[in-house]
Copies of this chain bind each other. A is one copy, B any other.
Amino acid sequence: MTLLELKNIVLQQGTFRLQVPHLKLRAGRLYALKGQNGSGKSTLLRLLALLQMPQSGEVYFAEQPTFSAGGRFRRLRQQITLVEQSPLLFAGSVEKNLAFGLKLRGFSGREMAERIGEALEIVGLGGFQQRSTRELSGGESRRVALARALCLRPQLLLLDEPTANLDAAQVEALESFLTGLPEQGMTVVIATHDVAQPQRIDGERIELIDGHVSQVRSDTILSGCPAQGPDEPLVAGGAASLRI
């Protein structure tokens, strides 16, 4: 099933122009977004999170247009969560940060506490509930931001360089957790500069070169994994550049 589809997107931002003739994200897949500094990864992720509007083109969520059908944004946004490249934590306790999104979704106190505890365990911060966000190390902050997104269990999880400040053990733990998400039906997009990461997480590649998106068949397809058979051409628009 197609979860998100971008068509003929042009997003101008200063002198930078993001162009996405066509991009398709399917439900229950894991995507690795690659590209040099300034190639537009974060911009694309903000677009996918419906935070930034394109000058032209349309984004379809579950085959419904989004930007042109104003007003339904918020409900859509509750199914898409982005962890930004330098995430901001709200002032206060770690618990409050994680509770923010859960409260908006109407969870009860017990459910919240449960989900918060689980999410913190995943990022290796069990017991950090009462810590103030002002007194965390760089890696701990990033992990709190990750947990804050994970506990919402969105349909589409967008991660902008999630492992940039994590230590080796945490990277490994997170990667193994993330690779399990597609099975649960979640779609994950990870922007990364770690050249080996896409392979480790077995992700389909999306490559950005100077604002031009090209979607590349994943290595797993090339190596013939039956679960992800090529039911339609994946490469769409622009010159497809195959890199690892």
Q: Which residues of A contact B (CB under 8 A)?
A: 13-14, 35-38, 41-42, 85-86, 135-140, 143, 160-161, 164-171, 193, 195
Cβ–Cβ < 8 Å partners of A139 in chain B: 36-38, 193
Q: Report the bound CA distance from A86 to B139 in whole Å.
A: 11
Most interface-central of A37, A135, A143, A170 (chain B CB within 10 A) = A37
Q: Report the bound CA distance from A122 to B244 in whole Å.
A: 26
Q: Report the bound CA distance from A170 to B35 in whole Å.
A: 12
CB within 8 Å for A85 and B167 given contacts A37-B143, A143-B37: no
CB within 8 Å for A169 and B42 given contacts A14-B135, A135-B14: no
Does the CB pair B170–A195 fall under 8 Å?
no
Q: Report the bound CA distance from A178 to B45 in whole Å.
A: 32
Chain B nearest CB: distance from A71 CB in Å?
A: 30
Does the CB pair A37–B140 fall under 8 Å?
yes
Q: Report the bound CA distance from A193 to B137 in whole Å.
A: 13
Does the CB pair A38–B168 fall under 8 Å?
no
Chain B nearest CB: distance from A19 CB in Å?
A: 16
Chain B nearest CB: distance from A66 CB in Å?
A: 24
Does the CB pair A167–B86 fall under 8 Å?
no
Does the CB pair B167–A165 fall under 8 Å?
no
Some 9 contacts from A to B, beta carbons below 8 A apart, are: A35-B167, A36-B139, A36-B167, A37-B137, A37-B138, A37-B139, A37-B140, A37-B143, A38-B139
Interface residue from B36, B135, B143 paired with A169 (Cβ < 8 Å): B36
Chain B nearest CB: distance from A39 CB in Å?
A: 8
Does the CB pair B85–A37 fall under 8 Å?
no
Does the CB pair A85–B165 fall under 8 Å?
yes
Interface residue from B41, B137, B166 paired with A42 (Cβ < 8 Å): B137
Q: Report the bound CA distance from A167 to B14 in whole Å.
A: 22
Does the CB pair A85–B138 fall under 8 Å?
yes
CB within 8 Å for A37 and B170 given contacts A14-B135, A137-B42, A138-B86: yes
Most interface-central of A42, A167, A171 (chain B CB within 10 A) = A167
Interface residue from B37, B169, B171 paired with A167 (Cβ < 8 Å): B37
